[in-house]
Amino acid sequence: MALPISFTDFKSYSLRLGVLALPILITQFCQAALGVVDAIMAGQVSALDLAAVAVGSGIWLPLFLLATGILIATTPLIGEAIGKNKHDQVPHITQQSLWTAGVIGIIGFIIVNLMPNVLGIMGVPDNIRPIASQYLHGVSFGFPAMAVYAVLRSYCEALGRPEPVTVISIIGLLADIPLNYIFIHGLYGMPEMGGAGCGVATAIVLWINVLLLAAYTTFTKRQQFASTRFFYSFTKPNREQITKLLKLGIPIGVSIFFEASLFSLGALVISPLGELATASHQVALAVTSQLFMIPISVAMALTIMVSNRFGQKNLVALHNVQTTGLIWTILIAIVCMLGIWLFRPQLAAAFTDNPEVRAQAMHLLIFALAYQLFDGWQVNIAGILRGMQDTTVPMWVTLFCYWIVALPLGIYLVRFTDTGAQGFWMALITGLFLSSILLTLRLRYQQKRLRAMWA
């Protein structure tokens, strides 16, 4: 698949990959943990509240990831500029991304507020709808903050300084727990909202995060930031740069949306089976989502490293980065599979005290074993392709694998056969396996193309 790599080069690239990926991993864990905290605290109220939060998350999270995916195109654009040693372009790229983020944030706020109107059409049971609607209304106020934060995060990580984002993410996670408790139980004069209070708490956390990161990038004296200040001489919206961002970013966002919506819509597909099936699916999904943060963090680090070598037009270094990343992808997948198998009872028990939900979740986690390798492989191949600014074909691959193959298959198995919730997980495995094959073929094509261009 790639050029051979010496052990010395493998160690060197692994060290750089680890330095980038570790803080990104902590950041990803913290962001994903917001949903886990919501699930745990809502589940302590009732299975109904947990099911409602699961449905609400299944709607707003794909939109969140769609917007974030568009805006993280800032990372390979800045990475390419740095690879070309054109650091003076970094402020302009960041400013244009921030203009785009403002518009996307407002659009996202409006769309999330409209989503409760379609819960009935989606087949969500009547007893779940009111709580899910209230949850969506609360979380919508965090959408503009999330969009701006995505750009500031991309700016920091592309400069090779992901640490401030990590620290702020930890602060946000720590703040989420008491905020959830306040709005769930109605403390300090706040209304008692039950599981729906998690939406308000999440919105507040998103604003805390963006304000802290904006303050840091404004006042820090670190060299990387001091030489690329983006708030001085803020330029007007530039059509050419914004078009370049959207041309690269929309396929990234749509690709992430297709994959995330496949997972998140599982709660909606399974909801007619009842509260217990929906809650058990959410527990299993929460566990695997946390584990997924490991390969996706490696993928994000690979995007940064690949974009630098892409800007340098260094084919040997580019292939060495790819090889190093994919070796670690396989090793990580094996460890995750062992972890799920050995600790399934403890993982399920961490989310619910309901013995029926716990038993069903443990059963679904067996299916999660099957796709760890496929999921990790495809997300890292996608990260490599993003660093090479190849995003359109991967978008069509994800559309085909997830929405044309996996989602209809999941709906059919859940609602028209007796497989129950596990039918949807069987469909997930199918889509991820197919995506792994097609994205690998695309990477091989791009390697040959670049070899011919740069020869």
* pLDDT value of position 156: 92
Q: Which SS3 state, helix, strand or coil, does residue 204 take?
A: helix
Long-range contact set of residues 403-412: C-beta below 8 Å, sequence gap at least 24: 403/258, 403/261, 403/262, 405/430, 405/431, 405/434, 406/262, 406/430, 406/431, 406/432, 406/434, 407/262, 407/265, 407/431, 410/262, 410/266, 410/269, 411/269
Cβ–Cβ under 8 Å, residues 318 and 450: yes
Nearest CA to 254 out of 69, 442, 2, 44 is that of 69
Nearest CA to 279 out of 40, 34, 48, 51 is that of 51
DSSP states of 333-372 as a string? HHHHHHHHHHHHHHHHHTT---HHHHHHHHHHHHHHHHHH
Residue with tokens 């919206």: 237
Quick one: DSSP state of residue 235?
A: P
Chain centroid to CA 139: how far? 17
What span, in angstroms and rounded, lies between the C-alpha atoms of 190 and 185?
8
Q: Which SS3 state, helix, strand or coil, does residue 86 take?
A: coil
Q: At what angle do helices 129-140 and 197-219 cross, to 10 degrees?
A: 20
What span, in angstroms and rounded, lies between the C-alpha atoms of 362 and 173?
26
Quick one: DSSP state of residue 455?
A: -
Q: Token digits for 307? A: 């974009």
**Quick count: other Cβ atoms within 10 Å of Cβ 100?**
23
What span, in angstroms and rounded, lies between the C-alpha atoms of 292 and 31?
12
* pLDDT value of position 4: 67
- Single-letter code of the amino acid located at 56: G
- Single-letter code of the amino acid located at 454: W
What span, in angstroms and rounded, lies between the C-alpha atoms of 298 and 303?
9
Residue with tokens 């654009």: 77
Averages of pLDDT over each 10 residues, the chain, 455 residues: 71 91 88 79 79 80 86 91 86 93 94 84 76 87 94 91 92 91 83 81 94 91 80 85 94 86 79 83 82 89 90 87 91 91 87 83 86 89 93 94 94 90 91 95 93 83
* pLDDT value of position 2: 45
Cβ–Cβ under 8 Å, residues 183 and 198: yes
Give exposure, 178-192, as e/b (b: 16+ Cβ within 10 Å). ebbebbbeeeeeeee
Cβ–Cβ under 8 Å, residues 55 and 271: yes
Nearest CA to 365 out of 349, 338, 332, 341 is that of 341
Nearest CA to 443 out of 359, 323, 354, 276 is that of 323
What span, in angstroms and rounded, lies between the C-alpha atoms of 84 and 414?
51
Residue with tokens 């660093």: 387
| Dihedrals phi, psi of 158, to nearest 5 degrees | -65, -30
Helix (DSSP H) and strand (DSSP E) numbers for the chain: 17, 0
Show Cβ contacts of residue 341 under 8 Å, excluding neighbours closer than 6 positions: 369
* pLDDT value of position 44: 76
What span, in angstroms and rounded, lies between the C-alpha atoms of 340 and 372?
10
* pLDDT value of position 148: 96
* pLDDT value of position 144: 95
Report the 3 state secondary structure along 260-305: HHHHHCHHHHHHHHCHHHHHHHHHHHHHHHHHHHHHHHHHHHHHHH
Alpha helices in 127-219 (DSSP H): 129-140, 143-158, 163-185, 197-219
